[in-house]
């Protein structure tokens, strides 16, 4: 099961720091999370970037998530 | 108000144009004569992007009226270097990567040419002060000054 | 529609005529480095520019046995190349050299700097220190005004409609006299003075100051002659106490404002520092000369 | 990627391919395009910092004989508050539209209200005077302190602070509150022997690019509209402009001119939609060029900020807790870079107990735009100043302290993931071993050191390489080249194709010629567009092999490609790339490679700077006497332009630290909107900027590139600030270190 760690901002929606999710791909993880947390929307999650095992992905969607992967949702970074 | 007729010389070629007496030389160069190598960065003489020579003196063309060029000799970036060969200063700017965005570059090259004509052997400090009126926001000036000093040396050797 | 009429007369009389008879706002165009910016944003429907640079003598400087006669529209670049003048009035030449960039130097002039009458003009304190006189031509003939009386307020001066600054004259100084001008700016170049100080010093053979003039700029509506600062120097060997007294006198004479370039307190302090430093340099030069 | 790669072209200092045009004045920038029948647009701007617009009467301007069109907000049609990718990340369309032309309120001095297109620029200016706007003037709110106060005038009645468990029911100027934390901050401080806590302020500062915003727009009712402009992202200009004017993307072509500097400030639209709206109404091409004062009052500054930093450490130098607080000005509309400020503040440190809280606050200044590592310089300034003070307090060398606590591979960041391979330790060691750090400090001087962290980004880049029949090729990329990136693209393609770089011509293609490409920003181009170039070039190589294989009647796998030559491993034959290209006509048509990617795996770039300053004790004037910038490039493709990025970033940071600041009067009117009084560094202000390129490869890039454009602006604020304080034996808490402020510190402590 992949470990999903929530930012303090997302914790406002989830009420917990992390959770384990059983899913093979990122979009399915999002579906699981939206199911699990009532106030968390797909839109909210999809507008964020994600770091899967430390690699920051700005527009995640089809990413394959490993059994022991660690996921962090974070704000998309832009730049100057 | 009728436009004024001006006969002048730009980069050694006779040029005539009509301009409003309130137009700056910069307006005339860019908008009437399509000599857009001379850039406008501020319109107030604070950035040097519009540097040209007027009767051999380095000036900001945004602070000269088009009508004042009557009978004068104007030198712009388009007149630096020959058609098929860059001026040493231009070559050195490229060699030293002395430009990033390049918008200040025409002004800096015109100014550097004026500097080295006045003072073929400037110290780094003299070069920095002479060029203080040419703002560059990209490079931090380091590579520009290196290019200027190298160009000076090369020109002295060639002289 | 804003429209400009441009005239370039070749004589003082011609210029005076144009200026005196203008029925629209008339401006004297010398280097244009202030005028062109100022009139860009102006809403005058029509205006007259009288370019005075074609008039004989306006762009030349002559140092005679008795005086410097300066054509007010001579570019600072040309003026600062005059080694003979630099030898006699190094401070004045420095002041001219400090106006703007190399590019601005190519056009700006001492006369233009004076006639623009900014409180922060660099050459005015140096002209004051050297006791310069302004020769003004007008419909009624010529008159001469000491430079410290020429400027009457921020951007204002004593010239009436139809008048034109024809010459700036400075008598050759006594032996063992020299000058210096310093200004303070946040960067090394390109800024308008936050404070400025021009000092002229005459020394006797023992190094005692026998005469001094102190002009300060950017710390009052006009550049000021500060007799108290000069008095603090005269009779001294420019020791620390005398220099500090002169600095204090300059600070006391100032009445600066707070604006984007400096605060009241800052300007008042710094003008004193500049007087001290300029007096020291002028004295060094007076010794050497 | 392998550890020690051998390169043929990468790492050389080639002459940039666009250089000739730039040193001869031929290169065409934003204001350099004129079209037949073109007229000029000018913008009416608010004289008030905060006011309701009661009415706008444009009838007199419209009646002016030289005027062709006047537009206001209404000409944008119906714009809804949805989010689009408008350059520097997601932006609210309605905010964007209201920033281009004010709707019912003006929110800053200089806020655009209407625009006129007329036969000449002067006539357009005259006509602006004929537009009658009636205002109900409101009190302006000019800094975060005032804006966050109870009862402060509110800019947006519909703005309720996001980021609390319960969204407040009354509107305020605080758009967002964000908190990030890890570990136990209280326990961390309890463990500390030394705690330093200070409050800091940084001013509103501008990107200060020399080229003002400029564009030429031609509306075409048949769907051939065109905008030519100087921008960091022409695809994003197309998105925004098309949205505001209700056009399909295919009906608008945006051409990126050469760009005269951007630094983040040219990632958003200001005039482009307005010019196209004017052109639509006027039936003529319209050129709009900002004056310098418009650039200052109405475009891009970066956030002024108020910050607090608190750091605890043990006597041995172990940092035990780091806490930060920051409030960033967003300007007139929400969206300051507070978030990256929170994320980057303490990232150079491997500390488990961290907590940072940030606020995004609207004020009556122009909407901030991205500026080089947006948000990081302010936050890391506060952090680095306090870290230096901790080192001072425990009597430890500041580099040693940083080495002891340096972030490294595996360091947990406050924003979630653990760091991959990074080069901070290598940068610190290079700083420690540098000639600069080992040199004695001259009398009356001070020395400062600071580190900086920036993420860098990847994102979408699209590239085509079209090969010609003589074996030369054109590289089409969609990322505007601000600092010489075409040279890097040329070198990377040359490295793959194994042909001379000069045989490849890189161009920035317009929006009709390539799929979407994200703009130039986030230090992404050499990394992400570089990856797209490599992919496109590999595609070309693949086709070269296939064509040669077809000619030799072998399989593509039997063909090797080396030194620009295809080799038949099953026979004796060889064909050069040029020969294969020449034969393309007979082997299936011309050869063209594509690389359309969404790059991930951007590698953070750490920087460490050293600064020596000398302070005039009687005037407070600061001179930078020596400066060294050290930064991890991953791999320097073109070392000269990498050094150029270090130097340029350093000097922008020096300017920010020393003299640059917006000055407003009591009515919120900017008093220094020009290069005369907004004092960016001059050639005569500076020494040479020494550079050390550290190369710790980024494993996600084929050549190890990280991206170097932004990190260099972060350390100077604290390196200069600490150095000044060191020279005068005081603690700097407010930037810039302008002479009056420094003199006051000297005299009043």
DSSP C134-183: EEEEETTEEEEEEHHHHEEETTEESPPTT-EEEEEEEEPPPTTEEEEEEE
CB–CB of D233/D4 below 8 Å?
A: no
Contact at CB, D675 and B44, closer than 8 angstroms: yes
**Could you list the pLDDT tens digit for every one of the 159 residues in chain B?**
589 999 999 999 999 999 999 999 999 999 999 999 999 999 999 999 999 999 999 999 999 999 999 999 999 999 999 878 999 999 999 999 999 999 999 999 999 999 999 999 999 999 999 999 999 999 999 999 999 999 999 999 987
Tokens 């220190």 sit on residue: C129
Beta strands A18-21; A2-5: pairing state: antiparallel
For residue C257, tell me if it sits in a domain.
yes
Contact yes or no for B63 and C101 at CB 8 A:
no
**Which phi and psi (to 5°) does residue D407 adopt?**
-65, 140
When CB atoms are compared, the residue of A55, A59, A77 closest to D601 is A55
Residue D79: per-residue pLDDT: 73
Residue of C nearest to B57 (CA): C106
* Three-state DSSP state, D62: helix
Q: Is C2 on the interface with B (CB under 8 A)?
A: yes
Q: Is residue C56 part of a domain?
A: no
| Inter-chain touch D267–A9, beta carbons under 8 Å | no
Which residue is closest to D709 within chain B, CA to CA? B138
* Helix (H/G/I), strand (E/B), else coil: D214: strand
Contacts A56 to D, Cβ<8 Å:
417, 455, 600-602
Q: Do C187 and D685 lie within an 8 Å CB cutoff? A: yes
Superfamily of domain A2-74: Beta-grasp domain (3.10.20.30)
What chain C residue is nearest to B24 in terms of C-alpha separation? C36
Query: Cβ distance D445 to D727 under 8 Å?
Result: yes
Which of D679, D681, D740 is nearest residue C266 as measured by Cβ atoms?
Answer: D740
Instruction: State how far the Cα of B64 lies from the Cα of B86, in Å rounded to an integer.
Output: 28
- What number is the average pLDDT over the span D134-161? 97
Identify the CATH number of the domain in which residue C186 sits.
3.30.390.50
Structure-block tokens of residue D489: 């693209």
Residue that finishes a domain, picked among C118, C146, C171: C171
Q: Are there at least 3 beta-carbon pairs closer than 8 Å between D and B?
A: yes
Q: How do strand D305-313 and strand D194-202 relate by DSSP bridges? A: antiparallel
Note whether C182 and C259 are same-domain residues: yes
Residues near D6 by Cβ (< 8 Å), separated by ≥ 6?
A: none
Residue C3 pLDDT > 90? no
Q: How far is C3 from chain D (nearest CA, A)?
A: 10
Averaged pLDDT, D321-348: 97
Domains and CATH numbers, chain B: 4-79 (3.10.20.30), 88-158 (1.10.150.120)
| pLDDT tens digits, D173-185 | 999 999 999 999 9
pLDDT at C42: 66
| CB pair distance less than 8 Å for A80 and D455 | no
Same domain, C41 and C72: no
The neighbours of chain A, by the rule of 3 or more Cβ pairs under 8 Å, are D
Structure tokens, D415: 């924003």
Q: Is D683 on the interface with B (CB under 8 A)?
A: yes
Tokens of residue D27, six digits: 């290169």
Q: Which of B81, B133, B146 sits opposite D24 (nearest CB)?
A: B81
Q: Output the CA angle D345-A26-D183, nearest 5 degrees.
A: 35
H/E segment holding residue D181: strand D174-182
Residues 6+ apart with CB under 8 A from A74: A7, A48, A49, A50, A51, A56, D343, D415, D416, D417
pLDDT tier at D265 (50, 70, 90 boundaries)?
very high
pLDDT band at D91 (very low <50, low <70, confident <90, very high): low
User: Buried b / exposed e across C268-284, counting CB within 10 Å, b at 16+?
Assistant: bbbbbbbbbbbbbbbbe
Residues in chain D: 749
Q: Tell me: pLDDT of C41 over 80.
A: no
Same domain, C190 and C117: no
Q: Strand D105-106's sheet: what is its strand order?
A: D105-106, D51-57, D132-137
Q: Verify that C200 and C165 share a domain, yes or no.
A: no
B touches which chains (3+ CB pairs under 8 A)? C, D
Which residue ranges form the domains of chain D, and what is each CATH number?
Answer: 19-26+458-599 (3.30.365.10)
Q: Does D18 touch chain B (CB under 8 A)?
A: yes
The pLDDT, as a whole number, for residue C288 is 84
Average pLDDT value for chain D: 96
Helix H, strand E, coil C: the string for chain B is CCCEEEEEEECCEEEEEEECCCCEHHHHHHHHCCCCCCCCCCCCCCCCCCEEEECCEEEEHHHCEHHHHCCCEEECHHHCCECCECCHHHHHHHHCCCCCCCCCHHHHHHHHHHHHHHCCCCCHHHHHHHHHHCCCCCCCCHHHHHHHHHHHHHHHHHC
Facing residue for D644 by CB, picked from B41, B104, B139: B139
Does residue D665 sit at the C interface (CB-CB below 8 Å)? no
Residue C264 has pLDDT above 70, yes or no: yes
pLDDT tens figures, D26-39: 999 999 999 999 99
pLDDT of A47: 83
Residue D84: predicted pLDDT: 65
Examine the fold and report which residue of C171, C206, C240 is the final residue of a domain before the chain moves on: C171
Determine the distance from the C-alpha atom of residue D443 to the mean position of all C-alpha atoms in its chain, rounded to a whole number. Answer: 37
Rounded to an integer, the average pLDDT of A44-51 is 87
Q: Note whether C185 and C218 are same-domain residues.
A: yes
Distance from the C40 Cα atom to the nearest Cα atom in chain D, whole angstroms: 10
Spatial contact of D642 and D693, defined as CB atoms under 8 Å apart: yes
Nearest CA in chain A to D409: A54
Say if residue C182 is in the same domain as residue C164: no
Give the phi and the psi of residue C46 in degrees, each rounded to 5: -135, 150
Give D668 to chain A, closest Cα distance, Å.
26
Range of the domain at C160: 61-171
Residues 6+ apart with CB under 8 A from D272: D215, D217, D227, D229, D231, D237, D240, D241, D254
Report the pLDDT value the prediction gives residue B46, as an integer from 0 to 100.
97
Residue labelled with tokens 């206001």:
D72
Tokens of A29: 């993880």
Query: In this predicted model, what pLDDT tens digit does every residue of D582-625 receive, in sequence order?
Result: 999 999 999 999 999 999 889 999 999 999 999 999 999 999 99
The pLDDT score that the predictor gives to residue A58 is: 85
The half-sphere exposure of C66 on its side-chain side, counting CA atoms within 13 A, is 0
Is the per-residue pLDDT at C45 higher than 80?
A: no
- Judged by CB atoms within 8 Å, which residues 74-113 of B form the interface with C? 111
Q: Which residue reads 């948000």 in tokens?
A: D375
Count of domains forming chain C:
3
Residue D215 · residue D287 · CB < 8 Å: yes
Confidence tier at D1 by pLDDT (50, 70, 90): very low
Within D450-572, residue ranges assigned H as helices are: 485-497, 530-552
**What's the pLDDT score for residue C265?**
96
Residues C141 and C155 in one domain: yes
On chain D, the residues whose CB falls within 8 A of the CB of C186 are 621, 658-659, 679, 738-739
- Determine D/C contact with 3+ CB pairs under 8 A as the test: yes
Residues C167 and C200 placed together within one structural domain of the fold: no
Q: CA angle at residue D630 from D627 to D635, to 5 degrees?
A: 145
Q: How confident is the model at residue D90 (pLDDT cuts 50, 70, 90)?
A: low
Which residues in chain C have their CB less than 8 angstroms from residue B67's CB?
6
**Is the pLDDT score of D207 beyond 80?**
yes
Rounded Cα distance between B110 and B75, Å, is 8
Gap between the Cα atoms of B14 and B34, Å rounded? 15
Residue D307 has pLDDT above 70, yes or no: yes
Q: CA nearest D366: which of D44, D109, D91, D672?
A: D109
Q: Is C101 on the interface with B (CB under 8 A)?
A: yes
Q: Is there a contact between A31 and A25 (Cβ–Cβ < 8 Å)?
A: no
Contact A55 D418 (CB under 8 A): no
Chain-chain contact of D129 with C189 (C-beta, under 8 angstroms): no
Mutate to test the interface with B, among C106, C107, C112 (most CBs of B within 10 A): C106
Count Cβ–Cβ pairs < 8 Å, chain C vs chain D: 56
User: Do C182 and C166 share a structural domain?
Assistant: no
Domain boundary among C120, C149, C171: C171
* B133 close to B48: Cβ distance less than 8 angstroms: yes
> Do C194 and C186 meet the contact criterion of CB atoms below 8 Å apart?
yes
């Amino acid at each position: 099961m992949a470990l999903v760690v929530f930012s303090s901002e997302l914790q406002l929606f989830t009420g917990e720091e992390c959770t384990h999710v059983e899913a093979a791909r990122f979009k399915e993880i999002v579906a699981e999370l939206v199911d699990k947390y009532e106030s968390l929307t797909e839109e909210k999650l999809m507008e964020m970037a994600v770091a899967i095992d430390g690699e920051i992905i700005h527009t995640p969607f089809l990413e394959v998530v490993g059994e022991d992967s660690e996921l962090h949702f974070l704000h998309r970074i832009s730049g100057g | 108000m009728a436009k004024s007729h001006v006969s002048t010389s730009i980069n050694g070629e006779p040029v005539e144009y009509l301009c409003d007496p309130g137009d700056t030389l910069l307006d005339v160069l860019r908008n009437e004569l399509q000599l857009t190598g001379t850039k406008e960065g501020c319109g107030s003489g604070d950035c040097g992007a519009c540097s040209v020579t007027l009767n051999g003196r380095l000036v900001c063309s945004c602070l000269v009226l088009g009508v004042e060029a009557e009978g004068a000799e104007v030198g712009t970036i388009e007149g630096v270097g020959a058609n098929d060969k860059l001026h040493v200063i231009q070559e050195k700017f490229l060699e030293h990567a002395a430009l990033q965005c390049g918008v200040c570059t025409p002004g800096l090259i015109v100014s550097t040419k004026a500097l080295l004509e006045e003072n073929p052997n400037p110290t780094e400090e003299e070069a920095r002060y002479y060029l203080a009126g040419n703002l560059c926001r990209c490079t931090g000036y380091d590579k520009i000054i290196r290019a200027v000093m190298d160009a000076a040396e090369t020109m002295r050797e060639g002289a | 529609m804003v429209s400009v009429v441009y005239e370039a007369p070749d004589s003082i009389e011609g210029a005076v005529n144009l200026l005196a008879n203008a029925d629209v706002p008339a401006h004297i165009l010398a280097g244009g480095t202030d005028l062109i910016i100022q009139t860009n944003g102006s809403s005058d429907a029509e205006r007259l520019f009288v370019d005075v640079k074609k008039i004989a003598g306006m762009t030349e400087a002559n140092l005679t046995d008795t005086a410097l006669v300066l054509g007010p529209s001579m570019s600072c670049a040309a003026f600062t190349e005059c080694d003979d003048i630099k030898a006699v009035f190094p401070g004045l030449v420095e002041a001219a050299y400090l106006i703007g960039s190399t590019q601005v130097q190519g056009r700006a002039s001492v006369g233009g700097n004076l006639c623009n009458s900014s409180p922060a003009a660099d050459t005015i304190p140096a002209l004051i220190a050297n006791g310069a006189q302004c020769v003004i031509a007008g419909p009624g003939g010529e008159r001469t005004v000491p430079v410290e009386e020429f400027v009457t307020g921020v951007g204002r001066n004593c010239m009436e409609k139809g008048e034109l600054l024809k010459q700036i004259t400075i008598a050759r100084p006594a032996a063992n006299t020299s000058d210096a001008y310093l200004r303070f700016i946040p960067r090394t170049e390109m800024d308008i003075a936050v404070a400025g100080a021009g000092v002229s010093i005459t020394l006797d053979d023992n190094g005692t100051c026998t005469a001094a003039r102190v002009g300060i700029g950017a710390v009052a509506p006009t550049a000021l002659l500060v007799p108290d600062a000069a008095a603090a120097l005269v009779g001294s060997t420019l020791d620390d106490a005398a220099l500090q007294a002169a600095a204090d006198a300059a600070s006391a004479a100032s009445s600066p404002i707070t604006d984007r370039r400096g605060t009241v307190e800052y300007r008042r302090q710094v003008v004193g520092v500049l007087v001290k430093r300029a007096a020291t340099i002028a004295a060094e030069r007076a010794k050497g000369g | 990627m392998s550890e020690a790669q051998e390169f043929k072209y990468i790492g050389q200092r080639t002459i940039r391919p666009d250089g000739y045009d730039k040193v001869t004045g031929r290169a065409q920038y934003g204001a350099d395009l004129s079209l037949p029948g073109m007229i000029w647009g000018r913008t009416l701007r608010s004289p008030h910092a905060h006011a309701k617009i009661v009415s706008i009467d444009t009838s007199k301007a419209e009646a002016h004989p030289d005027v062709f069109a006047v537009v206001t907000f209404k000409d944008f049609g119906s714009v809804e508050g949805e989010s689009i990718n408008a350059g520097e990340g997601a932006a609210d369309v309605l905010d964007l539209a209201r920033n281009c032309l004010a709707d019912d309120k003006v929110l800053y001095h200089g806020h655009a209200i209407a625009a006129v297109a007329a036969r000449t620029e002067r006539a357009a200016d005259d006509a602006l005077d004929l537009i009658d706007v009636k205002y109900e003037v409101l009190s302006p709110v000019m800094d975060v302190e005032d804006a966050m106060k109870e009862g402060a005038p509110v800019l947006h009645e519909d703005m309720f602070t996001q980021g609390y468990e319960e969204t407040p029911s009354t509107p305020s100027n605080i758009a967002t509150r964000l908190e990030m934390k890890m570990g136990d901050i209280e326990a961390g401080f309890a463990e500390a022997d030394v705690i330093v806590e200070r409050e800091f302020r940084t001013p509103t500062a501008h990107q200060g690019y020399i080229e003002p915003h400029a564009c030429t727009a031609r509306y075409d009712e048949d769907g051939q509209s065109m905008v030519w402009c100087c921008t960091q992202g022409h695809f994003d200009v197309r998105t925004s402009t098309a949205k505001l004017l209700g056009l399909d993307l295919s009906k608008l072509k945006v051409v990126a001119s050469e760009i005269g500097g951007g630094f983040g400030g040219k990632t958003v639209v200001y005039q482009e939609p307005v010019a196209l709206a004017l052109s639509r109404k006027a039936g003529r091409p319209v050129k709009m060029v900002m004056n310098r004062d418009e650039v200052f009052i109405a475009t891009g500054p970066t956030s002024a900020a108020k910050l607090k930093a608190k750091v605890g450490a043990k006597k041995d130098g172990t940092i035990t807790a780091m806490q930060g607080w920051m409030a960033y000005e967003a300007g007139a509309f929400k969206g300051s870079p507070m978030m990256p400020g929170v994320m980057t503040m303490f990232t150079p440190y491997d500390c488990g107990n961290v907590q940072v809280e940030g606020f995004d606050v609207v004020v009556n200044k122009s909407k901030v735009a991205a500026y080089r590592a947006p948000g990081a310089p302010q936050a890391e300034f506060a952090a680095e100043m306090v870290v230096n003070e901790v080192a001072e307090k425990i009597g430890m060398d500041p580099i040693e302290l940083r080495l002891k606590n340096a972030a490294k591979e595996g360091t947990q960041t406050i924003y979630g993931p653990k760091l991959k391979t990074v080069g901070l330790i290598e940068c610190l060691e290079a700083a420690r071993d540098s000639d600069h750090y080992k040199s004695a400090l001259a009398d009356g001087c001070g020395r400062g050191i600071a580190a900086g962290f920036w993420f860098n980004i990847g994102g979408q880049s699209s590239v085509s390489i079209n090969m010609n029949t003589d074996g030369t090729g054109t590289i089409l990329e969609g990322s505007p080249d601000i600092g010489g990136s075409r040279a890097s693209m040329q070198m990377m393609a040359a490295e793959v194709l194994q042909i001379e770089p000069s045989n490849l011509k890189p161009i920035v293609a317009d929006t009709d010629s390539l799929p979407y490409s994200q703009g130039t920003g986030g230090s992404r181009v050499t990394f992400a567009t570089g990856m797209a170039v490599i992919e496109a070039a590999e595609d070309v190589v693949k086709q070269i092999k296939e064509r040669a294989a077809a000619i030799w009647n072998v399989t593509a796998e039997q063909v090797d490609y080396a030194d620009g030559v295809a080799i038949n491993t099953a026979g004796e034959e060889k064909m050069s790339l040029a020969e294969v290209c020449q034969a393309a006509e007979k082997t299936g048509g011309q050869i063209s490679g594509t690389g359309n990617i969404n790059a991930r795996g951007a590698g953070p770039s750490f920087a460490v700077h050293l600064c020596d300053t000398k302070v005039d004790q009687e005037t407070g004037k600061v001179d930078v006497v020596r400066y060294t910038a050290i930064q991890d490039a991953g791999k320097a493709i073109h070392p000269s332009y990498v050094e150029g990025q270090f130097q340029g970033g350093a000097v922008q940071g020096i300017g920010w630290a020393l003299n640059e600041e917006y000055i407003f009067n009591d009515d919120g009117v900017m008093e220094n909107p020009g290069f005369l009084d907004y004092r960016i560094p001059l050639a005569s202000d500076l020494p040479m900027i020494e550079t050390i390129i550290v190369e710790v490869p980024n494993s996600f890039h084929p050549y190890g590139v990280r991206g170097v454009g932004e990190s260099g602006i972060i350390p100077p604020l604290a390196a200069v600030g600490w150095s000044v304080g060191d020279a005068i034996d005081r603690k700097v808490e407010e930037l810039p270190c302008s002479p009056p402020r420094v003199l006051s510190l000297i005299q009043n402590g």
